[in-house]
Amino acid sequence: MSVKELLSYTTHKWKRTVSRKLKQLREQHILSGSLYDLNYSKLCRNPLHKVLCIFESNRSLETVISYLKVIGPILWTFPVLSSHKRVLNAGFFSTDDAALASILQILKDNNIVTDYVIRAFCTKRMIENPNLFGDLNPPLDNLLDSCDIPDMSLAYHDTEWNRCDMSILPHLMKDAKLVEILRKENDLHENLTYEKIKYSRRKMVKNGLIEKKYIFNPLPVDQCVEFQMFLKIEDTALAPQIIYNFARGERVFKQYALFEEWGTTDCIWGSTSCISHPLFLKDLMHKLDEIDGIGEKEIYLMRSFPSKRYFYTRPLEFKYFDFEKQTMQYPYHVYEEKIKEKIESEQLIFSV
């Protein structure tokens, strides 16, 4: 909505008052956006998977992250609070799951990580903003209730993307203005105009590649915790229902999806990433233990929130996009060689 439209929902008299309130919400890191959410399964003809990996290591988190950054399609890292081993979750895009697993095995064989798990998204990620009038510590006795679940299915490539589309997409993901994009890309691409960029953005929105979204936290950021949760659900038909109902309509921000574990065919995990009041974590595991149909449970609490150290993000790269074939393939052999070289060089340093 425009500021003028928002004003009509308040008791304020002036637009500048609403503008000031919005500024305050952003300064407190409650409100962020607008952001463009990428519907990645519409990007190319060949399979493009989004995967989440869980790493355990005896090495420092800095060391583990330095190796993961060599893998080009890494998206983010999530430092986990753990008293046992150093635990780090990370997100990747994958055009070859076996090649990615092979690289991670090299890290394990050389004791960069001691163990890892790969889980692939089998639905799209859904975003649910908190109800600011909802419960900070909601009950979970409604997880098996019948409900109308939104469409979580992955889409498919149905639109030809061109160089202009792929050039501006990384900028849109960072919420850059069209004028800023033109200024940054003009030196790299001849004949690029404001109208072309505007048309390209409209094309991507119309065909569902990107969707504008706002995100807000349930409380000021210094009063929140962030965690990732995985629930192994025995009856796969119940998995969407349980994960959709989890804290639905309450004062909890969540992103949720279903995952398949690499190397298995009958293992479905319901997953949600949440930002909540710390009180919600107090008896969360007890509440989940009371629900029939949920097997294993995993909760990964962010090491510190907000976290800049050990939290790494990288935008998706499109330099390997083949415009003629409308496919994208990452050069995993290059990443593998670089990681081997890094391992060898560091072993030489330690031996000296």
User: How much is the pLDDT for 224?
Assistant: 92
Give residues with Cβ within 8 angstroms of 97, minimum separation 6: 49, 51, 118, 120, 262
User: How much is the pLDDT for 175?
Assistant: 79
Q: Does residue 111 come out as left (phi exceeding 0), alpha (psi in the -120 to 50 range) or beta?
A: left
User: How much is the pLDDT for 154?
Assistant: 94
DSSP string across 14-73: -HHHHHHHHHHHHHTTSEEEEEEEE-GGGS-SS--EEEEEEEEESS-HHHHHHHHTTSTT
Between CA 218 and CA 203, with CA 174 as vertex, the angle to 5 degrees is 110
> For residues 188 and 167, is the Cβ–Cβ distance under 8 A?
yes
pTM above 0.75, yes or no: yes
Phi and psi angles of residue 173, each rounded to the nearest 5 degrees, phi first: -65, -20
Domains of the chain as residue ranges with CATH = 42-149+216-301 (3.30.70.260)
3-state class (DSSP) for residue 33: strand
- Terminal CA-to-CA distance of the chain, rounded, Å? 62
> For residues 125 and 106, is the Cβ–Cβ distance under 8 A?
no
User: How much is the pLDDT for 26?
Assistant: 87
3-state class (DSSP) for residue 228: strand
Tokens of 79: 């430092």
Instruction: Please list the pLDDT of the chain residue by residue as tens digits (352 residues).
Output: 889 999 999 999 999 999 999 999 888 888 887 788 999 999 999 999 999 999 999 999 999 999 999 999 999 999 999 887 899 999 999 999 999 999 999 999 999 999 999 999 999 999 999 999 999 999 999 999 999 999 999 999 999 999 999 988 988 888 788 888 888 887 666 678 899 999 999 999 999 999 988 889 999 888 999 999 999 988 888 999 999 999 999 999 999 999 998 766 567 899 999 999 999 999 999 999 998 889 899 999 998 877 677 888 887 888 899 999 999 999 999 999 999 999 998 875 554 3
Q: Which of 16, 52, 63, 38 is nearest to 210 (CA)?
A: 38
User: How much is the pLDDT for 131?
Assistant: 96
Q: What is the rounded distance in angstroms from the CA atom of residue 50 to the CA atom of residue 176?
A: 24
Give residues with Cβ within 8 angstroms of 26, minimum separation 6: 32
User: How much is the pLDDT for 266?
Assistant: 66
User: How much is the pLDDT for 352?
Assistant: 39
Q: What is the rounded distance in angstroms from the CA atom of residue 212 to the CA atom of residue 172?
A: 10
- Neighbouring CB atoms inside 10 A of 87's CB total 21
Q: Which of 64, 58, 122 is nearest to 89 (CA)?
A: 64
Q: What is the rounded distance in angstroms from the CA atom of residue 44 to the CA atom of residue 161?
A: 9
Q: Which of 29, 42, 26 is nearest to 220 (CA)?
A: 29
User: How much is the pLDDT for 191?
Assistant: 75
C-alpha distances in angstroms, 43 versus 29, 108, 112, 159, 208? Answer: 31, 32, 33, 8, 10
User: How much is the pLDDT for 31?
Assistant: 87
The maximal CA–CA distance of the chain, rounded, in angstroms, is: 71
User: How much is the pLDDT for 315?
Assistant: 79
Q: Which of 282, 320, 310, 348 is nearest to 95 (CA)?
A: 320
Q: What is the rounded distance in angstroms from the CA atom of residue 103 to the CA atom of residue 112?
A: 11
Q: What is the rounded distance in angstroms from the CA atom of residue 55 to the CA atom of residue 200?
A: 38
